[in-house]
Amino acid sequence: MDLLNVATPSLSTSTSARSVRSINDRSMEENSLALSYAEDRPLSKESLKTLLRGHYFIKYQKNGHRSVRRIYFNDSLQKLILEKDRSNSKFIFTTDILAVEFGFSNQLTAVLLKGDYNHKVYGFRLITRKRLIELSSNSRAEREQWVDSVNVLAEVVKEWSSHIGLRKYWDTLTTISQSEQDISDLLECQRNAKKEISIITLQRNELEKEVIEGLINEMILALEVREANLAMLMVKRQEEAVDAENRLLRQKQESLQNSLREKNKEIGTLKDHIKDLYSNLSSNQSRTLSKIWKNIIDFLSFKDLLVLQNVSLYFKDQVAKAFITKSLWRRIGTVSLCPRKISWRMYIRNFYGMRVGGMGHEVYPEIMEEISKDVNRGLVDHQQEVEEVLIGLCALNPDVGYCQGMQLVTHFLLGILRDTDEVLGTLMSLLRPPFYLGELWKNGFSRLKLGIFQLEFLLKLKLPYLAKHFKDLDINLDVIVTPWLLTVFTHLLGQQGVPIEVVQWIWDFFLVQGWPALLSTCLALFYLSQESVLGENLETTLHRFSNNMPFESVVKFIPKFEIEPSLLDDLERAFYLQTNIN
C-alpha cells in the first residue's frame, strides 16, 4: 500500500469527516467542469497518450479493502484494462463507460472514516452501465488529466455509437495526416481536367448550336414553301375555272347577257370566298405549326431547349410555356439537367422562389465556432464563402440551427451556382417541402428518423432478401443511410472513385421530385449491392456499404424504384402514430 503514503496531514477522528466532506464538495465542482470540457474538446494527441499509458491507481471495495491496479486502454481504445498483475486482469468495454466523476461515494466515505484510514488521497468514481468502480491516485494532476481524457472519450463514443464507429474514429485520427497530400494532388488533377473539359465543351457547344440552327431553319423554310405551294395551286385552279367560264360567256355574250351578269355576281362571291380561304389558311398554318413544335419540344433536352428559345420570338414563347410545366422538368430530369448552373436556378425560381427575406437573428458564438471548425477541417476551397452562407442560413432559420453535413451541401451548391446569394436562396427553398431539409437538419433529426422508418418498410416490400439479411445480422439502417441522407449524398465526393457527375445526377432527381428521390436512390444502392453482401458476415456487409459501391450505375436504377407519394404519406402517418403511442 505504498501508493497511499502521501506526505499530507493525517485524518484524525475529529477532523476526518470535515476533510472528506471538503474533498467531496470540491469534487462536485470539478465534475461539472470536467464534463463541460469533454463536450467542447476533441480527443487530442495528449489525451490519447494519457489513455494509452498505464497508470497505477488504488481500487476500493465496498468494505474499504484496497488493492493496486495498473489501468490503461488498449491500442484501439475499445477496452479499459484493469490489471492486478500479468496473470490477473479484467477489462471494460469503452462503450459501457458513461462518465468519470471526482471524489468518493458517500457509502465508501463512511466506511473509510470508520476504519483506520488516515491518509488524504485524490479519489474518483468510474461510472459504467453495470457498476460503479471507485479509485484514487496519489497525484492530483494525474487524476484530473486521466478523468478529463476519459470523459472526452466517452462523449466521442456517444457520437460514434458503437465499437466499429469508434474504430473508424481511431483510424481517421491516425490516417488523416497521410491522406491530406493525396487529396490535394487529386484535387489539382481534377481542376486541370475540368479546364480541359470546359474548353472542349465550349467548342462542342458552338458546333452543336450551328448545326441545330441550320437544321431548324431548313425545317421552317420547307414548311413555309410547302404551305405556299398548296395555296397557290388552289388559287391557280380556281382562276383557270373562272377564265374558262369567262371565255364561254364572251362567246355567248349577245345571247346570254343576263347570264353574264349573274356569273359576274358569282365571281364576286367566289373572290370573297377566296379571301376567306386565304385567311383560314393563314390561321390554320399558325395552329398547325404551334402543334408541331409543341410535340417536338417534348423530345428535346434542356440544352436543346435553351438553343431553341434563341432562334426567334415565337420559339422563345413556346419554350417559356414549356418551362412552367413540372411534367417537362420531370422528363428532362431523368436524362440530365446540364448545364445545371442555369437549369437548377431556373427550376427553383419557377416553382419555389429564391428570395431571402426577413430579419436575421443573432448566431451564437459556439455555433459559429462549430461551423468554422467543420469547414476548415473538411473543405479545401471556398471556406469563407461556405461559412458566410451557413451563418446566414442559421440567422434566418434559428429553429433549424446547424449540424454536420450542411457544410458539404453548401460547398456542393456553391460549386454549381458560383454565387453565395443564390446558394443561400436555394438552401432556403430546400428547407421547405417537398425537400424537407429543414426537418432533416433540425435538432432531433425528426425527418431522418421518419426516412429510416420508411426505408425499413420499403426494403421489406421491394428487397425482402436483403431486409432479412440485415435482420439476421442485427444491422440498423441508420448506420448505413445516415450519412447518405444528412449530406444528400454529397459526402460521396470525398470517396475515391466517385465522380461528381454521379452526385449531380442524383441531385437532378432530388430537385425535381423532392424527398421521395432520396429514398429511391437509397433503394437503388441497396439493390445494386445486395448480391455482393447476401450470405456475408457483419464486417463484410458493413465494409461493402462504406467502400467501392457501384455508384456509377445508380442513376439507371433510380426510376425503377420510384415511390408513390401516397404510400410515403401513409407511412408518415403510421410513423407519427407509433411515435405518439410510444
> Sorting pLDDT into bands at 50, 70 and 90, what band is 146?
very high
Percentage of residues of the chain with pLDDT beyond 90: 29
pLDDT digits (tens, 9 = 90+) for 79-105: 899 988 878 888 898 888 989 999 888
pLDDT at 187: 64
Contacting residues for 213 by C-beta, under 8 A, at least 6 apart: 307, 311
β-bridge mates for residue 137, sequence order = 122
> Sorting pLDDT into bands at 50, 70 and 90, what band is 39?
very low
Cα–Cα distance for residue pair 535/29, rounded to 1 Å: 53
pLDDT at 473: 93
> Sorting pLDDT into bands at 50, 70 and 90, what band is 75?
confident
**pLDDT exceeds 60 at position 572:** yes
Average pLDDT over residues 278-284: 57
**pLDDT exceeds 70 at position 354:** no
Alpha-carbon Rg for the chain, nearest whole angstrom, is 38
Name the more confident of 559 and 358: 559
CATH number, span 2-160: 2.30.29.30
Cα–Cα distance for residue pair 54/89, rounded to 1 Å: 13
Which of 43-52, 269-278, 433-442 shows the lowest mean pLDDT across its residues? 269-278
pLDDT digits (tens, 9 = 90+) for 534-547: 999 999 999 888 87
Residue 505, all three cell numbers? 445526377
Q: Kindly tell me the number of DSSP H helices and DSSP E strands found in the chain.
A: 23, 7
pLDDT digits (tens, 9 = 90+) for 366-388: 999 999 999 998 888 889 999 99
Average pLDDT over residues 555-571: 91
Domain spans in the chain, listed from the N-terminal domain onward: 2-160, 200-323, 365-581
Question: What number of other Cβ atoms are within 10 A of residue 298's Cβ?
Answer: 12
CATH topology classification for 365-581:
Cyclin A; domain 1 (1.10.472)
433, amino acid identity: P
pLDDT at 294: 63
> Sorting pLDDT into bands at 50, 70 and 90, what band is 246?
confident
With cell 432531433, the residue in question is 444
Q: What is the DSSP letter of 399?
A: T
Read off the pTM: 0.51
**pLDDT exceeds 70 at position 288:** no
β-bridge mates for residue 102, sequence order = 124
pLDDT at 436: 92
pLDDT at 253: 74
Name the more confident of 442 and 316: 442
> Sorting pLDDT into bands at 50, 70 and 90, what band is 292?
low
Cα–Cα distance for residue pair 203/208, rounded to 1 Å: 9
Element (H, E) at 85: strand 79-85
Name the more confident of 349 and 271: 349
DSSP string of 553-564, one letter each residue: GHHHHTGGG---
Average pLDDT over residues 433-445: 91
Average pLDDT over residues 285-301: 64
